[in-house]
Amino acid sequence: MKLRELLIAATVALATVVGAGTANAVSVLDDWNLNLGIVNGTAVGATVFNGLANATDIDHTNVVGFATIQQTVVGGSALNQPFAESGLLQFATYTKEGAALSTNFNIGNAGGLYLSFTGLTGTLNGDSTITFNTPSGAIGLFLDSDGDGNPLTGDVLTLATYEIIAPSGGSDLNFFGGTAANATVDVTLRQLTGIDGLFTDTSGNDLELPFVLHLVNVDSLLDPNFNPNPDNSGVIGGNGTSIIHVQNNGQYNLAVPEPGTLGLLGGGLLFMGWFWRRQKRQA
């Protein structure tokens, strides 16, 4: 087998293991920490971020926000057609492990702490479920100075960036006709970059990449602040783009592949290392 073929085979194998771990063998973490205090004293533009405190012993964070969806309509139907989605999820509060009440994040003089996503794409399936394209769009965790939820304005500190991976999708979501009361969206994220020590486990150990997954699970409802919603003025003669505004409310969790899956992934990484060393010696 040629070098290129071996490399492709190994890469596909690794992707398969990660996908299998995400879909079928994931354990949600308890007692993790979001150490916002490590950015105190960081200067961005005219702002020096100060007064932030660590959030510890987290079971999950509670997120609220909104999204705008551009849904393609063909022949009067959005089923089996693509969509693009952008929005934000504010980190509102977090619930400690074993606690009944939620705790507010202490973000000091920062205006907001939020997950922003732009250009996520996918398909509204024939059964009114959705499937996201993986990867697609841009996703980041931000602190900002003005609290407007827009990472393109004010002084903004990027805490982490992510990519969307499988499985990511939703149920009971007919964007063109409006979302049902029990519509849900479940997104799996893999962290790409981040500030060292931002996420740690209960013992204070850094949660290393790429073994930690970030899970976003929200209920999605039509936003009553927009009228009409959906806005189908862009659909002419049954064809065009419908604009839908939704409100999201849910949770953000951390998870890891279970031990068996980690072993497979680790074995794949070891194989890749051996393979490259072998090729280098033969060069």
Residue 228 belongs to a domain: yes
- pLDDT, residue 9, reads 37
Q: Give CA–CA dist 110/165, Å, rounded.
A: 30
Q: Give CA–CA dist 246/213, Å, rounded.
A: 25
Q: Give CA–CA dist 10/16, Å, rounded.
A: 10
> What are φ and ψ of residue 271, in 5° steps?
-60, -45
178 to 66, 88, 92, 98: CA distances (angstroms): 15, 20, 26, 36
Residue 263 belongs to a domain: no
Residue 84 belongs to a domain: yes
Question: Contact 87/52 with Cβ under 8 angstroms?
Answer: no
Segment 30-89, tens digit of pLDDT: 899 999 999 999 999 999 999 999 999 999 999 999 999 999 999 999 999 999 999 999
User: What angle (nearest 5°) sits at the alpha carbon of residue 102, between those of residues 254 and 211?
Assistant: 5
Question: Contact 144/110 with Cβ under 8 angstroms?
Answer: yes
This prediction's pTM: 0.82
- pLDDT, residue 189, reads 96
Q: Which domain holds residue 213?
A: 63-89+111-200+209-258
Question: Contact 58/96 with Cβ under 8 angstroms?
Answer: yes
Nearest to 173 by CA among 136, 229, 132, 124: 124
How many domains does the structure of the chain reveal? Answer: 1
- pLDDT, residue 89, reads 97
Residue 283 belongs to a domain: no
Residue 223 belongs to a domain: yes
Residue 222 belongs to a domain: yes
Residue 70 belongs to a domain: yes
Residue 118 belongs to a domain: yes
Question: Contact 80/125 with Cβ under 8 angstroms?
Answer: yes
Positive or negative, the CA dihedral 186, 189, 195, 200 is: positive
The residues with which 113 forms a beta bridge, in sequence order, are 143
- pLDDT, residue 172, reads 73
- pLDDT, residue 183, reads 83
Segment 121-136, tens digit of pLDDT: 999 999 889 999 999 9
Question: Which residues of the chain have a pLDDT value below 70?
Answer: 1-24, 174-182, 209-210, 259-283
- pLDDT, residue 19, reads 45
